[in-house]
Every structure is written in C-alpha cells, then in structure tokens.
Amino acid sequence: MTLILDGRKLRDEGVKRLKEVIAKSAKTPVLAILQVGALAESGAYISQKKKFAEQIGAKVLHQTFSETVDDAELVGNIANLNDDDGVDGIIVQLPLPPRLDKQKVIDAIAPVKDVDGLTSANKKIFEAGDRRAVVPATAKGVLSLLRGYGLSVAGQRVTVIGRSDLVGGPIATLMKREGAQVAVCHRGTSDIAGKSRTADILIVAAGRPKLVTRDFVSPGEVVVDVGINSLSTGRPAAKLEEEIPTRRLVGDVDFEDVAPIVSAISPVPGGVGPMTVLSLFENLCDAAEVSF
Ligand code: NAD
C-alpha cells in the first residue's frame, strides 16, 4: 500500500498546536503582508494566510499598493514596519511587477522580521548551514511533511528537480543541512529520469505538469510533489449560481502513474501546500517569541 503524505492532516494538527501556544501567551503575533497590484493568485494566497491566521489567533496586517508604486515607497514602508513594535513578521507577496527590484525590496526587511527567510542576509547564513537562519516556508514544509510521517532524510539520497531561489534552491540547501546526499536537476540536466530513479527521496519543484512519470521512480522511493499548476478542466465557465470549477490544480508528478510504484507520495492539492502555510506561521511565532 502506498502511503499518502497528507499535508492537510499535519497542517490541522499544527493549527491546533499553534492555537494553544498563542492562547497561552500574552502576545498576538502580527504578520504584515505587502501586496503590489491585484494579481488573482496573490489575492488567493493572501486570503489563505488570513484564514490561517484567524484560525490560530494571529493577526494579518494587509497593505496594498498600486501597480505604479516604486522601490523607494515600498522600502520606506518596510522601514516603518521594521520600527513598529506591534509587527512581528513582514513578507512581500510575490511575484512583484518585473520593473521593481525584488531583492532590494525584500532586503529592506529587518532580519528579525524576515519570516519568509528571503533576505540576502538570511540566505547567506542559511546556505552556510547556520541553524539560526530562518528556513524558507516551502522548504520547511517539505521537511515537516516527511518528518510528520517518520521519514528521515539523514543519509538518504535525495534528488531535487528545480533549483529556483525561492523553492528548489532552499529545499536542496535544507536537505544537505539535514545530512542528505543531494543531487539537483534543472532544465539543462541530462538524464533527469535516471537521477530521479536512483534516489531514496525525489522532490519535484519544476512547475511542469506531469513531468514525473513511472520512468522517474523505482519501488520503495518516496516522492514529494511541490509543483502547483492550474489546468483548465475543459468545462465551460461556471455560472455564478453553479460553482463548476473550470480550473483544477495539479502537481509536477503524474500521480496515477507513479503512486502504484512508490512507497510514499504527496498529493496536489493537499500535500506540500498546506505545510507551506503552516511553516510560515511557525516562523512568525518564532519571530514573535511565542514558543511551541
Ligand atoms: P521557477 O520557474 O522559478 O523554477 C523552476 C525550476 O525548475 C528551475 O530551476 C528550472 O530549471 C526547473 N525546471 C523547469 N522545467 C524543468 C524540466 N522540464 N526539467 C527539469 N527541471 C526543470 O518556479 P518556482 O518558483 O521554483 O516554483 C516551482 C513550482 O513550485 C511551481 O509549480 C510553483 O507553483 C510551486 N510552488 C509550490 C509551493 C507549495 O507550497 N507547494 C510554494 C511555492 C511554489
């Protein structure tokens, strides 16, 4: 029987745990989220974070800026939030419009409030293996998902497909820090299927639906699918009163093809996604010094 790595179940346990510690603490953790423009996906991710905050008893301070805002205004705003004792964590909802200097804006966040772990200062200490570094939420979510099912990464051969600054890169760094033997694959890598098949744990973060098929895995392997891709169902647009979904979310792994072969696999939706939100709020509680 293939084990399904159920992120929603672990997330729900995490919600309970965080709710209890926040209720016992004298402090309500506050997360500031800066949003530029009105991208639908960003709106959906922010709503998810607000809902999560409400469930655990934390607060979100949602600041919105028009498409035309410049780096200086965002940086100035972040400086005010850095000085505000009522704010524990600050994140910039990505993506930003390409004309803005993303790293410059993120680097304006004070290290103690960098709960996404994306400032250059944090990246540097994270990559150096410093355990005081904030672990970026998706990477932390992947590790917690594995640990939640008793799967250790130490000494394991881990292949990561994808090496972006936000997702694949931090996942590989974290796996190395935890003692795994890590191989990283990207668009230019040869024989990705072979490098995937010989791993004990395969982590896929490429953003390519059905990239990973049965040729990429071997019996006993553990597969973690980080990809989130939105596909049309081919159905006509929903009428308001009907709510027929016209898009569905799929990962990078062809689940039906791969699941019967491997020993464990995370689904999309319901795998890494819920763990990523949980991890962000764990980082916020750390920053607010609400311990759990
Ligand atoms: P990105 O486009 O910045 O990076 C993709 C990486 O995958 C690159 O390193 C690229 O070289 C590699 N890649 C692309 N196609 C490939 C192929 N055919 N073979 C091998 N390597 C290939 O994307 P990203 O921001 O890193 O996001 C990756 C995926 O993770 C997306 O689907 C995104 O939606 C998802 N994501 C999920 C979560 C979550 O919580 N589950 C969080 C963030 C991002």
* 214 in Cβ contact with 233 (< 8 Å): no
Q: Residue 141 CA: which ligand 1 atom is closest?
A: 40
Residue with CA closest to ligand 1 atom 4? 164
166 Cβ below 6 A of ligand 1:
yes
Domain annotation for the chain: domains and CATH numbers: 26-111 (3.40.50.10860), 137-272 (3.40.50.720)
pLDDT for 174: 98
**Is residue 272 in contact with ligand 1, taking CB distance under 6 Å?**
yes
pTM here is 0.95
Catalytic residue among 35, 49, 140, 225: 49
Q: What is the pLDDT of residues 114-134, one digit of tens each?
A: 999 999 999 999 999 999 999
> What percentage of the chain reaches a pLDDT higher than 90?
91
Compute, in angstroms, the gap from residue 203 CA to the centroid of ligand 1: 11
Q: Higher confidence at residue 292 or residue 76?
A: 76
Q: Could you confirm whether 215 is annotated as catalytic?
A: no
Q: For a pocket test of ligand 1, which of 145, 186, 223, 272 has the largest count of ligand atoms closer than 8 A to its C-beta?
A: 186
Ligand 1 site, residue 184, Cβ cutoff 6 A: no
Nearest to 10 by CA among 134, 149, 171, 116: 149
The response to whether residue 229 sits with its C-beta less than 6 Å from ligand 1 reads yes
93 is known as an active-site residue: yes
Q: Which pLDDT score is estimated for 217?
A: 98
Q: How far is CA 241 from the centre of its chain?
A: 33
Overall average pLDDT of the 274-292 stretch: 94
Ligand 1 proximity of 167 Cβ (cutoff 6 Å):
yes
CA of 253 to the centre of ligand 1 (A): 12
- Confidence at 292, pLDDT banded by 50, 70, 90: low
Over residues 39-60, the pLDDT tens digits come to: 988 999 999 999 999 999 999 9
In terms of Cα–Cα distance, which of 289, 163, 179 is closest to 226? 163
Q: How far apart are the first and last CA of the chain?
A: 34
Torsion of CA 241, 245, 246, 247, to 10 degrees: 150
Distance 167 CA to ligand 1 centre (A): 7
Whether 49 is catalytic is yes
Q: At residue 244, does pLDDT exceed 70?
A: no
Instruction: Say which residue the tokens 């016209």 belong to.
Output: 246
Q: Which of 118, 159, 187, 266 to mutate to test the pocket of ligand 1 (most atoms within 8 A of CB)?
A: 187
**Which atom of ligand 1 sits closest to the CA of residue 252?**
32
Residues in the chain: 292
**Binning pLDDT at 50, 70 and 90, where does residue 99 land?**
very high
Which pairing describes strands 247-250 and 229-232: parallel, antiparallel, or unpaired? antiparallel
Average pLDDT over residues 134-153: 98
> What is the rounded CA–CA span in Å between residue 253 and residue 230?
13
CA of residue 163 to ligand 1 center, whole Å: 8
DSSP state of 85: T
